Structure 1
């Protein structure tokens, strides 16, 4: 079973799309600017078409909720520092994990092609040792990678392993919460093996977690009324994951920040067939090299 199949086993059988359209005016303005569609109805039909194609690839609830069109990364507290790092660090590498099997659909969404948007794409299972070598520790801050970073335009680059210790920025949105506690632990170590030891190198993202007002305890939380659960870290256990006794970093190597946002969404209640709006606690976090 692939990591994607394992993740999907957490969710109930997918509901059919109902063409419920939920895009804010701010999101609509941004999408028009980026995609180049100015007519509201044309934009709606374009997004519905992309949604249907993506949902056919894998029916994640977030696809039904149009989360692919919400520019969440620009609202992250670390976004501006990431942009600054990209401008100032020569040959900085940005890695977006994951995009699942949606790369081709993404080109359709933004009306790009591999020629107009020549960003390398590597498809694989992050838990596959042939795709990303496990057991590689994070480098100490005073150390430097032994080898040079690979060329991202090299057609021979078919796995993430050559990128270990060379990535300046790793972004992971709605990813960790798809897996159990043990797999999240493995993910943290795999991510750490990719991160450059240079100060300012950063892993950042967001996912559903436990509320710090409910005893600050990690554990399984109910995802839907149909009994499915996910493992949710609390803010303190999330920091422990990265810098605790068995974490990939020491507290001296990185700074871990976690913000918790209470989210109440009526559209999520519709997707999960709930009587009341679905309330979740969004962890917005970063792990930054000191």
Structure 2
């Protein structure tokens, strides 16, 4: 769960002057509680929470009977920072990447004898991916995370109860920014064998995707022929610009446009890249609904050639 760039607007509670008006306009005039319930904010932990429960028990040492309360407490803290569906629906705890074949390729590389390869999670949020890798046997000193929101990183230490224990490097910085953010990101340059970025690229315009991807290339070890970037995001059967929240613009990809983007990145960086794209066969109820049904949840890989 990378940090999304746009915050939700403030809702106000609407009351009607009479019961008749209330009945007539109840669909369009909803209270904050009604709007949030089941849409942006849910009370019950989702059914796919078991992997994170297990991680919190085995990695963090939290007693089984205390895990759910611990999760709820951290969720409320994150909600105060960023009241978005990704927090309200507990998506910041997702470990779905462990079902990605490329995760296991990356894991094998990272735990191989005499391996010096490093791993970067872009938009790492609370760092659940990095803790899973550490639990799976990766030396945490070769794990890195970046997020725009430093308070997410801080909450991650409390969620996993490893402050002062993990050797993972966390960086608060903007993949599209300059100035101080650029200085913060210098620690990442030229070190990475694997970069993971989920729910990241689909937030941006084509131009900003180029900027972010070009920066990722700078983070990769230039002498590593097996360097790769992988993750998942929202794609489409009809690539192009889409309107996002608050009138923002973003570019969604199919396989052909994704390769075209990395061809352009290659020209800008003097590198060459091969991409793979696969649809993910799983319920995607949180995708924005549109009439033509073109949106897809896709898994991608980017490989040096």
Judge same fold: TM > 0.5, yes or no: yes
1:231 aligns with 2:247: no
Q: Is the 8 A contact 1:85 1:200 kept in 2?
A: no
The TM-score with structure 1 as length reference comes to 0.71
For the 8 Å contact 2:109–2:115, the answer to whether it is kept is: no
Structure 1 portions without partners, runs of 5+: 134-157, 212-216
Which of the residues 84, 87, 94 maps onto 1:70?
94
Q: Distance in 2 between matches of 1:68 and 1:35?
A: 17
Cα contact 1:95–1:170 (8 A) shared by 2: yes
Where structure 2 has 5 or more consecutive residues not aligned to the other structure, the ranges are 12-35, 125-146
- 1:167, 1:230 → 2: CA distance? 27
Q: Find out whether 1:111 has 2:161 as its counterpart.
A: yes
Select which of 160, 167, 170 maps to 1:121.
Answer: 170
Match of 1:96 in 2: 121
- Could you say what the CA RMSD is over the residues aligned between the two structures, in angstroms? 3.4
What's the CA shift for 1:175? 1.0
Deviation at 1:8, TM superposition (A): 0.7
Contact 2:78 2:87 in 1 (8 A): yes
Sort the Cα spacing of 1:123 and 1:31 in 2 relative to 1 into closer, same or farther, 3 A: same
Measure the CA separation in 1 of the matches of 2:281 and 2:252.
Answer: 14
Matched residues in 2 for 1:227 and 1:70: separation?
28
Structure 2 contact 79–88 (Cα < 8 Å) conserved: yes
Q: 1:279 to 1:105 in 2, by over 3 A?
A: farther
Cα deviation, residue 65, structure 1: 1.9
Q: Is the 8 A contact 1:164 1:194 kept in 2?
A: yes
- Give 1:17 deviation, angstroms: 3.6
Aligned residue in 1 for 2:276:
257
Offset from partner CA, 1:221-274 (integer Å, 9 cap, x none): 5778x9887431112101111124875567x833311112254345x38xx8x8
**1:281/1:249 CA distance change after superposition, 3 Å:** farther
The question of 1:207 aligning with 2:207 is answered no
Higher normalized contact order (CA 8 Å, seq sep 6+, divided by chain length): 1
Which residue of 2 is the match for residue 8 of structure 1?
6
Match of 1:85 in 2: 109
- C-alpha displacement at 1:208, in angstroms? 0.9
Aligned to 2:80: 56
Distance 1:187 1:20 in 2: 35
Look up the SS of the partner of 2:233 in the other structure: strand
Confirm whether residue 287 of structure 1 aligns to residue 302 of structure 2. Answer: yes
Q: Deviations over 1:1-26 (max 9, x none)?
A: xx968x216x6658474423213364
Partners of 1:83 and 1:45 in 2: CA distance? 31
Structure index of larger Rg: 2
Distance 1:265 1:243, change over 3 A: closer
Residues matched between the structures, number: 247
Aligned pair in 2 of structure 1 residues 23, 249: CA closer, same or farther (>3 Å)?
Answer: farther
Contact 1:208 1:281 in 2 (8 A): yes
Q: Could you say if the C-alpha distance between residues 163 and 131 of structure 1 is closer, same or farther in structure 2, counting changes exceeding 3 Å?
A: farther
Aligned partners of 1:221, 1:24: CA distance in 2, in Å? 30
* Structure 2 CA distance for aligned equivalents of residues 263 and 76 of structure 1: 13
Describe the shift of the 1:220–1:174 C-alpha distance in structure 2 as closer, same or farther (beyond 3 A): same
